[in-house]
Amino acid sequence: MSSDRFQVSLCLPAQAAAETEATIVKWHVAEKQNVVKGDILAEAESAKSTFQFESPCDATIVRLLAAEGTTVAFDAPVVKLETADPTMRSTDATVKSTETSRERPRAAVPMAGPDSSSDDARTVYLLGVGGYLPKRVITNKDLLAQFPEITEEYIFGVTGIKERRWADPDEKPTDMAHHAALEAIAKSHLKAKDIDGIVFATATPDFAMPASSCILAKHLGIAGIPAVDINAACSGWLYAIAVAKGFILSGISRNVLVVGSELQSRILDKHDRNTYFLFGDGAGAAVVSDNPEGHAIRQQILAADPAGLHMARREVRGYEVPANTPHADPWIRLDGKALFRFATESFATTVRQVIDRSGWTPESIRWVVPHQANSRIIKAAAQKSGIPFERFYLNIDRLGNTSSASIPLALTECEKYLKKTDKLVLCSVGAGVTYAAVSLEW
């Protein structure tokens, strides 16, 4: 380095007065790259704005100090530059930049009702879990025909996904649910006739009516029991757990089958890079019971914030695109930037709250099993939650985002690593925006 050049570390430019941190969404530069004053170094998001971090001088990038997806305080350096600009010698490591911002809703996570009683008489249990995945494996390479400018590595970098499962043409959501349900019932050491309630979470039902839960009851040969569908999008399965708990505590049922099944591959716009690579198909199930031989469900948080209605949406029902929808958009649509920030905050806040309500500590958590939304979202949420990312169970690289099925599918994989009394947190964020968390003692 010549005598007239020196190094300086820069922080992200502060945004609103009440904000303290932002997330690095994407770096536009690499180490050893030369930049000129005004070049965009990175795109970042705070709770209320998205903005561009610009170079304050001509310089060479020495080191990137924060990875993409990392949430950093505004007083923490994120990049080190080498420059000869004398005005930078007095920098306080916080520089101004031109920002393009827009207001967005902050993820507010209220406590959803009073704490549940810890009395064993009000505890319900998770028995066996089961899952089903279609046989057809779709890799990133398989999806790139419409996007010649995108690489397999890029898709993996921004989503964490390498492949996903898509259903065969003759498969329906209730078909997949049936497979998952049979496994969950068998692993609960029950028979289908022992099931006295079904709660079916899905945003892609077989029909607008009858309910998918009733179709599943027919597949299982069960009659005369309550059966209901709910749609809380990706949070649906955790909402369904709460409904099943209500069935049991009210004396309506003793063994409730809780299912999440999604067939999303047929409602993806192959020209929409915001959604086409994200979603997979699959089903997961569990039996919620009053049987204390199961795994105790300790606490639950359920909430929704309609300020996020626009962030994830679809205008028609079902798992296929109807033939006649001239005035409706039949595809899944996402506002990825807004959803990223909202989901990150909601994940982290609900995880911390459910741990606190359970009387646990972050250090005591064996696994956090999140909805498999996007690996960058989960990494950012892990940092904000106080739990190491290594204790977040991920299978999104192989399955993609399976919406309401993702948590039970992950449980079917990670249960082999669990031992009695292990503490788990299940958490999700979905369209609405809905969010939920459950603490589970294995």
Q: Which residue has the tokens 């599918």?
A: 409
- Beta bridge mates, 124: 297
DSSP-derived secondary structure letter, 135: S
The two structure tokens encoding residue 383: 């940092």
Give me the DSSP letters along 179-232: HHHHHHHHHTT--GGG--EEEEE-SS-S-SSS-HHHHHHHHHT--SS-EEEE--
- Cβ contacts of 216 within 8 Å, gap of 6 or more: 174, 177, 178, 181, 198, 200, 227, 257, 259
Side chain identity, residue 362 = P
- Beta bridge mates, 285: 130, 259
Is residue 237 within 8 A of residue 265, CB to CB? The reply is no
Q: Which residues are catalytic?
A: 234, 371, 401
Q: Return d(Cα 300, Cα 278) in angstroms, integer.
A: 28
Q: Return d(Cα 263, Cα 282) in angstroms, integer.
A: 7
- Beta bridge mates, 11: 77, 94
